[in-house]
Chains A and B, each alone.
Chain A
Amino acid sequence: MLKLRFLPLLTLLFCQNSQAELRATGDLGVVIERAKGSALIINTSKRSILAKIDSLGDLSHASVVFSRDQRYAFIFGRDGGLSKIDLLQDKVEKRIIQAGNSIGGAISQDGQLIAVSNYTPGGVKIFSTKTLQLVADIPAEYGENKLSKVVGLVDAPNHQFVFTLFDAGEIWVVNIKNPKTIDIKKYKNIGNQPYDALLTPDGRYYIAGLFGEQGLALLDLWNPEKGIKRILPDYGKDDEKLPVYKMPHLEGWAVAGDFMLIPAIGQHEVLVIDKRQWTLVKRIPVIGQPVFVMARPDGRHIWVNFAFPDNQNIQIIDAKTMAIVKSLTPGKAVLHMEFTPRGEEVWVSVRDENQLIVYDTESFKEKKRLPAEKPSGIFFSSRAHQLGL
């Protein structure tokens, strides 16, 4: 979005200062510097760092969503902080502490509401994206007055937010068309310790991964009355479960045609699921416990990073053959990968090297390195227009 609203003013400024530069936000992004509690605003066309925003609190495990107009980035911090960053002016527009310990969130379909999933107190809070005023508070109550940590919060079509209760083993679907009278549909006994969840890019299927037992829990949002379907209940059940030194993320899921790729848990494998029948069709051996399994936007390649102690690696799977075509070692502690909107390049954060590395996704060659302090999550503004985020 261009600063059209300020055009008269800008024209004036431009006349006075020919150095002043207009900025659009479609090719911008935000990189979290987890240890310092700061974030970088970056430009993916110029492969450059535009600004650094400080004092954002505890950003270990931070995530970012974007306003529909792509002007604002909302950063969710571990300390319950919710910061609204103005990408045009490189500043914090507003910042609130909305809980004791939070993990992530999503923006509603119409861009008006932002939902945050919290560990302490367990639940979801919904705010106006404009003012960050509280609109609704949904404690994740279960059992006898207990509150569950909430994971896997996504936005879904028809004014819904969907999320998963880690401790309770439940999936809740919340209709927020009228925030004053929120309608909640609860699905119970979905499985033990659901650790994260994803929404397919068409907005139809919500899938929670289970840590406490085998398999995943699937909810078809086109047929919610059918309830939860357990998929892959048997995968790896006779194999020794390997230790998991970092929980995988399901947000970076991957689809190639009728196949979907997800990280196995407790196995050094990427699982290929046929999403017509929800059956396991292949287990691709990889170098370690996968964390993010992310498809290039066109679905041709799937990039995979790993948990400690294999987190210096990236492996790339070719969707045509479902086999590894390339292995890279960017450096110590590769935490995240983010593709440019059409996927010709990918940005990789290498925490212990204090580097961002940009790769060409066709040649797998390094194109640029940029300095960043203990970088973790990388989020591009093109996420503004993706369902689920």
Chain B
Amino acid sequence: MKGLVFALIFSVSAVADEPGLQRQQELKNMLAQDCGACHGLTLKGGLGPSLLTDALLNKSDEFLVQTILEGRKGTAMPPWKPFITEQEAFWLVQKLLKQQ
């Protein structure tokens, strides 16, 4: 019994940094549809550059999180921080870096 409680607590804390399941769905939809408006539905690029894993590997997590939250001056990339928290941006970046 003790072991089970421990396992439960452990698994809860392991996902505590991730957005809830419903929010994950919203973020995935946002990535495909709204980010996809410029970067393409499959994220291979459009007016904005490709967001496929290969295109992002040489960039730091911090740079990518900052780009999502603050946008990029001088380009069409807007700041998403009114809609996405830093933790959510980090989750999105991890997702982008682990595409198939």
Instruction: Spell out A's residues near B (CB within 8 Å).
Output: 34-35, 58-61, 78-79, 101, 103, 119-120, 149, 151, 166, 193, 195, 211-212, 243-247, 308-309, 333, 351-352, 374
Contacts and interface: CB of A to CB of B under 8 A. Distances in A.
B34 A246 contact: yes
B87 to A, nearest CB: 20
Nearest to A102: B46
Nearest to B71: A243
Contacts of B44: 101
A79 B78 CA distance: 25
Contact of A211 (B29, B32, B46, B76): B76
A317 B42 CA distance: 35
A374 B46 CA distance: 19
A78 B32 contact: no
Given A58-B40, A60-B46, 14 more contacts: A34-B41, A35-B33, A35-B41, A58-B42, A60-B41, A78-B46, A101-B46, A119-B45, A119-B46, A245-B37, A309-B82, A333-B33, A352-B29, A352-B33
B36 A60 contact: yes
30 contacts: A35-B33, A35-B41, A58-B40, A58-B42, A60-B36, A60-B42, A60-B46, A61-B41, A78-B40, A78-B41, A78-B46, A101-B40, A119-B47, A120-B45, A149-B47, A193-B76, A211-B76, A212-B74, A243-B78, A244-B78, A245-B37, A245-B78, A246-B37, A246-B38, A247-B37, A247-B47, A247-B76, A309-B82, A309-B83, A352-B29
Contacts of B41: 34-35, 58-61, 78
Contacts of B19: none
Contacts of A309: 82-83
A144 to B, nearest CB: 20
Nearest to B34: A308
Interface of B: 29, 32-34, 36-38, 40-42, 44-47, 71, 74, 76, 78-79, 82-83
A353 to B, nearest CB: 13
B4 to A, nearest CB: 40
A301 B82 CA distance: 33
- B29, B41, B74, B83: most-surrounded residue (chain A CB, <10 A): B41
Contact of B47 (A166, A212, A374): A166
Contacts of A120: 45
A243 B41 CA distance: 21
A243 B40 CA distance: 19
B40 A35 contact: no
Closest 4 CB pairs of A and B: A60-B41, A243-B78, A246-B37, A308-B34
Among B33, B45, B83, max chain A CB count under 10 A is at B33
B42 to A, nearest CB: 6
A319 B74 CA distance: 35
A193 B76 CA distance: 9
A34 to B, nearest CB: 6
A206 B36 CA distance: 28
B28 to A, nearest CB: 12
Nearest to B45: A101
Contacts of B79: 243
A78 B42 CA distance: 9
Contacts of A308: 34, 37
A100 to B, nearest CB: 8
B38 A247 contact: yes
A351 B74 CA distance: 30
Nearest to B29: A352
Contact of B40 (A60, A195, A351, A374): A60
B34 to A, nearest CB: 5
A60 B42 CA distance: 8
Contacts of A374: 33
B36 to A, nearest CB: 6
A60 B46 CA distance: 10
Contacts of B82: 309
B80 to A, nearest CB: 8
